[in-house]
Structures are given as structure tokens and as C-alpha cells.
Amino acid sequence: MSKILVVAEHLNGKLNSSTARAVSAAAAVKGDSIDVLVLADSVDAIAAEAAKIDGVGKVLTIARAENAHPLAAVLAPQVAKAAAGYSHVFFPSTTFGKDVAPRVAALLGVSQVSDVMSVEGAHSFKRPIYAGNAIVTVEANPAHAVVATIRTASWPAAGSRGDSAAVEALAVDAALPAHTRFVELQQGKSDRPDLQGAGKVVSGGRGVGSKENFEVIYKLADKIGAAVGASRAAVDAGYVPNELQVGQTGKIIAPELYMAFGISGAIQHLTGIKDAGTIVAINKDGEAPIFEIADIGLVGDLFKLIPEIEQALG
Amino acid sequence: MKILVGYKRVVDFNVRIQVKPDGTGVMTDGVKLSANPFDDIALEEALRLREKGIATEVVVVGIGPADLTAHLRNGLAMGANRAIHVVTADEVQPLTAARVLLKLVEKEQPELVILGKQAIDDDANQTGQMLAALWDRPQATFASKVEIAAGKATVTREVDAGLETIEAELPAVITTDLRLNEPRFIKLPDIMKAKSKPIDSIEFGSLGVEAHDHLKTTHYAAPPKRSKGVMVKDAAELVAVLKQKGLL
């Protein structure tokens, strides 16, 4: 009885991997079908990528010039219309999904489940509260559509399939507001792996000391093919741009390997890395809270240890 | 112009929360309560807009039990002109909060509503967006810079890809990110002055808001504990362990 609509996230004509993660959560509902909705000005390339995701029944597209940039006020009325007939509408819990999903939920007159970590049943979900210090089970009313955002760190990206799902253009009759306009997007320029999808992350905190010193973190990350992250302290001090922040108010990540250099481990930061496979902490202070959750700890000066690590790597 | 600021009271961010052993909730008895940090940032931004002469009045709004009044006094001491207290003993989920705020918006006719991007207790990150939808006005979430001029807000937003700038015609809803500003400290004389500032109490029931929420929380659990880690003595041993695990 469950028909699930997953709203695709994309940037610069490419599908974001968060979409395939939301499809994994949709698959866990064990419903009848999973469709992906692509809203863009030019949909073809994005829809073709979405059609390759395993488990997707069909890809619906709404191509409009107004959809060139993901403005919640513009997208939400279209998603709300497209949601007719669906029992679930899922978004990735990224800044995109967090921006748009509640607007859709309010238009549909339903509550929203934020940051779904696990699916317990078609209307039962687990999600974190209090910065991940408690996990609650919430039940949504089966009489209404479930609007939810999917915590990307809790779900693997669904694989790709040999063939492609059908792609259909969808016509929705939604009046779009002109009161919100896109001006510009300044992207942090980086050739490194994306922080949220990376298998390895090397992260620096206040202990790194300066923007210049962060170069050693970047160097090590490049050597092992890792993404770079940072604590709030490092971002606030201006060592790195804020899109690198990991934690309750930044990104929630779950790489296989997380290496924290000069990060004390405030609750706020730990929330962002709790689901990492192996956490390595390197800190001068042997009493730092980060060691309480680290799988491997090393007490010492990061500036001395990083070159030694590089040397040991060969 | 008038600015409405949402001002939620939450368990202080420094408190390490404990889940009740029977799974019925988290322990909040005797725990320190404070303003939601993002709401302090929202109030600070509103006060700065008043100091620049852009806003004329800043109104803090709280929804909660009778003793929430003391919390609202903090907002007044920080500098808000007056407060509105919507009195209810029940838990208020974001959709209900948004519906309450819409009623107040209709009554107060603000040109700007500033809320925190999320409350650090339920971590929902929904109320601002829901209010904007119900009000049918622009939203600018995760704001790290706000400029108001010529009937519109130009807002820089912290998005995953970097920094996005959008223009929103007023009235609009803005939700604050951490880097928007550094909230001021409350000074003693301001606490005294706040005692004479007005707080409007409105019974939740009198607003005609449908309080029915569709989400039921059935169980609370502590997060799974990570197993105890090991300490290594030097870089060579660290690399050896990671290589052995197949991580490097």
C-alpha cells in the first residue's frame, strides 16, 4: 500500500549521492513502489542518473526555468502537488532537504519526521534528539502522507542497476511565487572527495592553530585520498570555510575512517561522527573527551606526528 | 518595522542528557534550562536591526507552561521591547508552533519573523519553514548574513555546497545559523529594566489552533555505546593498526 516519492537533490547538473541514500531508506519501508522526483531547469542528465538507482520504479521530472536553483518557496508547491497519491515523501536530510521538506509538510498539513535513522515500519521511525544523546521512536499517523528527511549518514547509497527506470515528464498545476529570488552560490573550491560521501575523513580542530597550519591536514588527506573536515572551533577561528564543519550544527558524517587532529571532542562535534566506522584521535591532551569515543588514540603533537604518519605510509 | 522573534526554552547545551531507564523520556527534572542558542542569535540579529534604525520594535514569542514567563524576561533583558507568552502545558511540535506563530503574525503584522534554525532539544529544524509555508511568504533558512533594504532581505545562507545568497521580499521568515552573530550578554541593570516591560499572556486554547499533531513518540533510548578503544604509542604503530584493519 505504500507508494514512496523521493525528491532528488542535485547540483550543477549532477545528482547528489544523498538521493541514493534516501532511496535506501525508502526501500526499507518495503512498499509497493519508489519513484524519484527531479525538479530542475534542465532535467535530462539528472533524471538519467536517478533512473540508474537500484529499486527506483520510475523517475518523474518537472522541468521549469524557475527550478534552476533550489528555492524552497518555489519547489515546495510543486512537490506538494506531485505528492498526490503517495503515502511517503522522502528528502535527504541535507541543507536542501531540511529547507524544502518542512515547507512541503506544512502545505500538506502534516507533521514531518526529521533525520530518519532507521525504519521500524511503514509509519514508525527512529530519529536522534538532543544532539544524538537520545534516540526516539516516532509513529506517524497512517491517515496522512509521511513527510520525512533521511539522515544520510545512517544509510548506504542504493546501488546502480543494469537497465534504467522509465523517465516521465510530470505536469503539475502549481502557482509559483516570485517573492524569493536566487542571487548567487559561492562554492568552496575543492578537488577533494565530498565530505558527506567520503570513505575517509581527516579533520582538524582548534589545536591546528592557524589557517596556514591546516595545510598539513590537507596534505595528509590528499595522501590517503580523504575528505577534510573541521570542528566548529576551527571554523569559527577562520582556519577553514564553514562547509567543512562536522557536528550537530554542521555535517553529520559516517566515513569508514575518521581521523581527528587537535579536536577535544565537544558533545556537539561527537554528534557528527558517532556513526563513523573507526575513529582515530590524535591530541596533545590525553584527557580530551575525544579519547572516550575513539577506537584508536595517540597522545602527542600533531605537527610532529603527521610527518611521521606520512613517513610510515611510505 | 516590527520583528517577531521565536524564543524557545530548552535544556542547556552544556547538559549531558540522560535517558530514563524505562524509555519514557529524558530526565529534565532539576536540569538547567536556557534559551535555545539559535534563538539568542535570532534575538541578537533583531536587536541589531533595531539599533541600525531598520526595526522599530522587537517582540519575543514563547510557547510553553506558566513558568516560561521568567525565560521571556531574559529576552526582554537582552533588549526586546515586549514579549508574548502563549500558555500551554502540552508538548508543542513544530507544526503546532508554526500554526501558533501564524496566528500571532496575523495579529501583529510583523515584516520579519526571525527564528533559530533548529531547537537543540528536538533537533527538528522545521518551524520556520512551516510558518513561511502557512503564511505563503519567503523563507531564508540557515542565515549567516542578513541585509535589509528597500523592502527586501538579502540573505546569505550556509548550505552544504557553500554560501548561497538569496533575495526575499518582505514580509519574510529568516532562520539563523551559528555564524550570523555573537549574542550579547545580559547586564544587571537591564534585568531590572526588563521587569517593567510588558508580557502578553495568551491562552493557547483561545487562538483556535488545531493542536492535533500527527507524530507520537513511543520510546526513548540511549544511543548505542561504542566499544572501548585502544591507545597506540607512536605514528608507526597507528599506521600499522590502520593498515591491518584495511583502512589505509
As for the ipTM of the complex, it is 0.96
Same domain for A298 and A217, yes or no, is yes
Say what the pLDDT of residue B227 is. Answer: 84
What distance in Å separates the CA atoms of residue B65 and residue B18, rounded to the nearest whole number? Answer: 22
Q: What is the CATH number of the domain that holds A281?
A: 3.40.50.1220
* CB count in 10 Å sphere of residue B126: 29
Q: In a 3-state reduction of DSSP, which class is residue B95?
A: helix
Same domain for A28 and A107, yes or no, is yes
**Position A149 pLDDT exceeds 90:** yes
Q: Annotated binding residue at A79?
A: no
Final residue in a domain of this structure, among A169, A185, A212: A169
Q: Is B230 on the interface with A (CB under 8 A)?
A: yes
Contacts of residue B214 in chain A, CB cutoff 8 Å?
Answer: 110-111, 140-141, 144
Contacts of residue A277 in chain B, CB cutoff 8 Å?
Answer: 247
Does a structural domain hold residue A181? no
Whether residues B160 and A232 touch (CB distance < 8 A) is answered with no
Task: Name the residue range of residue A165's domain.
Answer: 3-169
What distance in Å separates the CA atoms of residue B39 and residue B21, rounded to the nearest whole number? Answer: 31
Q: DSSP assignment, residue B176?
A: E
Whether residues A130 and B123 touch (CB distance < 8 A) is answered with yes
Cβ atoms of residues A97 and B122 within 8 Å: no
Whether residues A179 and B169 touch (CB distance < 8 A) is answered with yes
Say what the pLDDT of residue B40 is. Answer: 98
Same domain for A145 and A238, yes or no, is no
Closest partner residue to A134 (CB to CB) among B19, B131, B178 is: B19
Architecture of domain B2-245: 3-Layer(aba) Sandwich (3.40)
Q: Annotated binding residue at A192?
A: no
Cβ atoms of residues A186 and A144 within 8 Å: no
Does a structural domain hold residue A182? no
Same domain for A68 and A205, yes or no, is no
Contacts of residue B32 in chain A, CB cutoff 8 Å?
Answer: none
Looking only at the bridges linking them, the beta strands covering A14-15 and A88-92 are: unpaired
Q: Which residue of B has its CA nearest to A100?
A: B129
Does a structural domain hold residue A279? yes
Under-50 pLDDT residues of chain B:
none
Final residue in a domain of this structure, among A154, A169, A184: A169
Does a structural domain hold residue A225? yes
Say what the pLDDT of residue B170 is. Answer: 98
The domain locations on chain B are: 2-245
Number of compact structural domains in chain A: 2
Q: Annotated binding residue at A269?
A: yes
Q: Is B135 on the interface with A (CB under 8 A)?
A: no
Q: What is the pTM of this model?
A: 0.95
Q: What is the CATH number of the domain that holds A141?
A: 3.40.50.620
Q: Annotated binding residue at A262?
A: yes
Does a structural domain hold residue A62? yes
Final residue in a domain of this structure, among A119, A152, A169: A169
Contacts of residue A221 in chain B, CB cutoff 8 Å?
Answer: none
Quick: pLDDT tens for A200-223: 999 999 999 999 999 999 999 999
Only one residue has cell 521568515, namely: B173
Same domain for A209 and A132, yes or no, is no
Main-chain dihedrals φ then ψ at residue A104, nearest 5 degrees: -65, -45
